[in-house]
Amino acid sequence: MTTLVICIDRSGAIGRATNVPMPVAGWEAVRSLVTDAGLSDPEDASVNCLLESLRVARDLRDEREEAVVAVVSAESDSAVGADRSIAAQLDDLVDRYDPRAAIVVVDSAEDEQVLPIVESRIPVDSVDRVVVRQARDIESTYYLLKQFLADEQLRSTILVPFGVSLLLLPALFYWFSPAEAVAGVAGLLGAALLYKGLAIDRFVAGMPERVREALYAGQVSIVTYVVAGGLALVGGFFGVLSASELGETPALVGAVEFVYAAVPWFAVAGVTAAVGRLLDELIRDEGIRTPYLNLPFVIAAVALVVRGFAGYFLAQEAIIDPFELGGVAVGPVQQLAAFIVGGIVVSLVGVKLASDVGTETLEDVIDADRETDGK
């Protein structure tokens, strides 16, 4: 039984350099081909591929295994024509030697693409890739870049933002200082990468379809989402207004003042949106899922804690007056502790309510009300 050691040259460099009809098979024929190819272009990596094929065949013979070394080289410049010519040469080798298995020797990722063609005709026991030692890193980088550029999604994610940034740099350098220009380009690149990395593009692309389905289905959450958006805008407006009234203060203090003024509005907006989603779950009559039932309480609890910390920092800076309860001033630490305790209590109430009601459906609630009315 014969093992066929095949050196594959998909680029056709060996055939063009030596003008020898393909395929070439046999120890002496391939060794002569190595000499011709090496004299034609000593720097060609195909010479190393041919030598590796001879070495593999020699090792098999040393192990007393019948082996035939052969070379197939493409005879067309087009990809389809090259693959078809290699397939015809493989058929010729199969008819001539009737091998039981093949060992494929390649010198590039391009040659490895022919592997399915070989496997469709001969069982492949091993693939031996030859990379010239001095050029290993360069060649590996080349093929990585080639695969990267062949991926359309990666090109649009990486190359397009970098290209836009490079186009904007001259204009930014003309109108702004170098530091501002670099900062603007860095911000643009960061926003573009986050836009793709967090799959925001998919969310935005699917938004019209989700909105259309929600409108046709008559979901309550559509109205509550609009209301929540309006409340969030009001919160942002009041937050900016409160921060601007501080005058010349550090940016961190202004940010804390914005949070302190805007958080109540943001919390009401979040609770409104969550209640609308909860009403949709009730109307659908498929049971109240725990996350939707617990979400309003979580939003309220987080808002209390954030408001408490913001108030504590502002009180330390004497920007807000101490809170008075029954004529007694409450210090910043006591006020912060009260907000934290309030947030924990609200969160526990939500967990308790979700565990008690989370498995009930709207029909169960109505039936329970009817039974209570009957009694």
- Give residue for tokens 């010198």: 107
pLDDT at 6: 92
3-state secondary structure of 367: helix
pLDDT at 195: 74
Q: Any idea where the domains of the chain sit in the sequence?
A: 3-139, 152-198, 208-374
DSSP for 83-97, please give it: HHHHHHHHHHHHHHH
Question: Do residues 39 and 52 lie in contact, with contact meaning Cβ atoms separated by under 8 Å?
Answer: no
pLDDT at 152: 66
* pTM score: 0.45
What is the H or E stretch that residue 329 is in? strand 328-330
pLDDT at 361: 46
Of the candidates 375, 246, 244, 256, the residue with the CA atom closest to the CA atom of residue 308:
256
The upper half-sphere exposure of residue 135, i.e. CA atoms within 13 Å in the direction of its Cβ, equals 12
Q: In the 8-state DSSP scheme, what is residue 359?
A: T
The CB density around residue 138, as the number of other CB atoms within 10 Å, is 10
> Which residues partner with 102 through β-bridges?
4, 124
Of the candidates 95, 70, 84, 97, the residue with the CA atom closest to the CA atom of residue 14:
70
What is the H or E stretch that residue 125 is in? strand 124-129
Q: Indicate the residue type of 273.
A: A
- Give residue for tokens 């659908």: 284
Question: Do residues 308 and 340 lie in contact, with contact meaning Cβ atoms separated by under 8 Å?
Answer: yes
CA distance 334 to 322: 10
DSSP for 171-195, please give it: HHHHHS-HHHHHHHHHHHHHHHHHH
CA distance 252 to 266: 20
Strand 101-106 versus strand 67-73 pairing type:
unpaired
> Which residues partner with 324 through β-bridges?
329
The list of the chain residues with pLDDT below 50 reads 360-363, 365-366, 375
